[in-house]
């Protein structure tokens, strides 16, 4: 999977003093005009952003390696599809997570007189498995274009952005327009410690086998132009499923004793971690948007359930480019928030303690649109 940053995509063109060709001054209104476009791409990921790989922290990393740019022309008050600009990924060919990255791409294209907007969509390799292809016709409206999950798939990181309107006519064949790409998805992180080994249920002690994070609905589509929720499945959806079977119990037969993990992610002792992406979901009134559930082998039977609160609300929306963190983790490869302090045992990781209720603090890279402080009870 992939986390999570804003991209800045700038479109610029040659100045009015530059010559397109010798016949340019003789082009009449309504005919195609040569317009030299220089695309300056800058994916500004802050620290780093996750795409196509597990979501382990609020650290911002990006792995865009498939950039698509589409042209929409104004017609009757709407912008409708005109063409795709083929830039061969416009220089984005990442096989691993990257930080800030910039590319320029220049082409000479022909456009008829009119007003245009450009839609840019940044994916990661293999996106066609996760998302349905964007099928567009001359009647496809920019405001209605959807990013849709393939059936049975879970979301990966993807970005989108729309330029300001630009006008091509006899006196205006150059322009400089910025497009900021933001995530179409939300990030959800579950970071827990002191998971109970057994819980009483029906007069018997049942071993905890799964820590689930459930969301009220599964987001299935979003509008690319403004990254708002569009479609959901009707049933409750388990977005995170931490299988405890690979961990061991301590001598008190009370907690799973989990050492700090190695490899892709570092965690504090006795903690478990998993993250996932979600397409946006509109709030469902009088419902719990998120819940943490402990179960045995039978995941349909809850041994213990924690309601999740965002500030004062249980029925909050899941918004694109927002990060919802149950437990605090700032970086993947350390537990000190990215600011090592040699000689001390201090760390900035703060997994939520499932042996008691506590306030969950979210610390998010500034590239996220919002920080949500969640609590469970």
Q: What is the pLDDT of residue 293?
A: 94
- Decide: 172 and 29 in contact? Cβ < 8 Å: no
Q: Answer whether residue 259 shows pLDDT above 50.
A: yes
Tell me which residue has tokens 């990215």.
Answer: 338
Q: What is the pLDDT of residue 40?
A: 58
Q: Give the count of beta carbons closer than 10 Å to the beta carbon of residue 48.
A: 21
Largest CA distance in the chain: 89
Q: Give the count of beta carbons closer than 10 Å to the beta carbon of residue 33.
A: 21
For residue 211, give both structure tokens.
């820590």
Phi, then psi, of 142 in degrees rounded to 5: -55, -40
Higher per-residue pLDDT: 22 or 360: 360
- Decide: 186 and 318 in contact? Cβ < 8 Å: yes
pTM metric for this prediction: 0.81
* Residue 330, SS3 per DSSP: coil
R_g of the chain computed on alpha carbons: 24
35-39, 131-135, 144-148, 344-348: least confident range: 344-348
Tell me the C-alpha to C-alpha distance, in Å, between residue 288 and each of 36, 59, 63, 213, 310.
Answer: 52, 27, 33, 12, 10
Q: Select from 114, 107, 63, 102 the least CA-distant residue to 85.
A: 107
What string of DSSP letters covers 13-48? E--TTS---TTGGGPPTTSEEEEEEEEEEEE--TT-
Enumerate residues 6+ apart whose C-beta is below 8 A from 300.
Answer: none
Calpha distance 371→377 (Å, rounded): 20
Calpha distance 368→56 (Å, rounded): 15
Over residues 51-104, the pLDDT tens digits come to 334 576 766 566 778 888 899 999 999 999 999 988 777 766 766 665 565 666
Tell me the C-alpha to C-alpha distance, in Å, between residue 340 and each of 343, 362, 366.
Answer: 9, 20, 20
Calpha distance 374→235 (Å, rounded): 23
Q: Checking DSSP bridges between strand 248-249 and strand 374-376, what pairing results, if any? A: unpaired
């Amino acid at each position: 999977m992939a986390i999570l940053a804003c991209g800045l995509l700038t479109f610029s063109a040659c100045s009015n003093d530059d010559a397109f060709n010798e016949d340019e001054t003789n082009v009449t209104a309504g005919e195609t005009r040569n317009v030299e476009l220089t695309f300056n791409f800058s994916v500004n990921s802050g620290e780093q952003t996750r795409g196509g790989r597990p979501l382990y922290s609020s650290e911002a990393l990006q792995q865009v390696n498939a950039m698509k740019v589409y042209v929409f022309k104004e017609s009757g008050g709407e912008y409708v599809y005109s063409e795709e600009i083929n830039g061969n990924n416009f220089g984005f060919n990442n096989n691993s997570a990257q930080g800030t990255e910039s590319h320029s791409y220049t082409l000479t294209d022909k456009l008829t007189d009119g007003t245009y907007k450009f839609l840019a969509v940044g994916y990661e390799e293999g996106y066609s498995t996760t998302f349905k292809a964007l099928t567009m016709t001359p009647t496809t409206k920019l405001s209605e274009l959807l990013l849709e999950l393939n059936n049975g798939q879970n979301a990966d990181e993807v970005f989108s952005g729309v330029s300001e309107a630009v006008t091509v006519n006899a006196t205006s064949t150059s322009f400089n327009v910025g497009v900021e790409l933001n995530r179409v998805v939300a990030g959800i992180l579950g970071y827990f410690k002191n998971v109970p080994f057994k819980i009483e249920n029906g007069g018997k002690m049942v071993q905890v086998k799964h820590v689930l994070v459930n969301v009220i609905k599964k987001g299935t589509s979003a509008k690319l132009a403004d990254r708002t929720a569009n479609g959901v499945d009707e049933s409750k959806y388990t977005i995170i499923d931490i299988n405890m079977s690979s961990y061991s119990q301590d001598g008190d037969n009370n907690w799973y004793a989990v050492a700090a993990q190695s490899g892709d992610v570092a965690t504090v002792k006795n903690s478990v971690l998993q993250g996932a992406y979600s397409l946006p979901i509109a709030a469902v009134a009088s419902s719990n948007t998120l819940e943490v559930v402990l179960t045995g082998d039978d995941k349909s039977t809850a041994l213990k359930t924690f309601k999740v609160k965002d500030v004062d609300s249980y029925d909050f929306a899941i918004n694109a480019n927002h990060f919802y963190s149950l437990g605090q983790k700032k970086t993947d490869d350390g537990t000190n928030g990215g600011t090592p302090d040699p000689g001390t045992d201090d760390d900035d990781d703060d997994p939520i303690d499932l042996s008691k209720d506590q306030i969950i603090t979210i610390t998010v890279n500034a590239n996220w649109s919002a920080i949500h402080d969640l609590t469970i009870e």
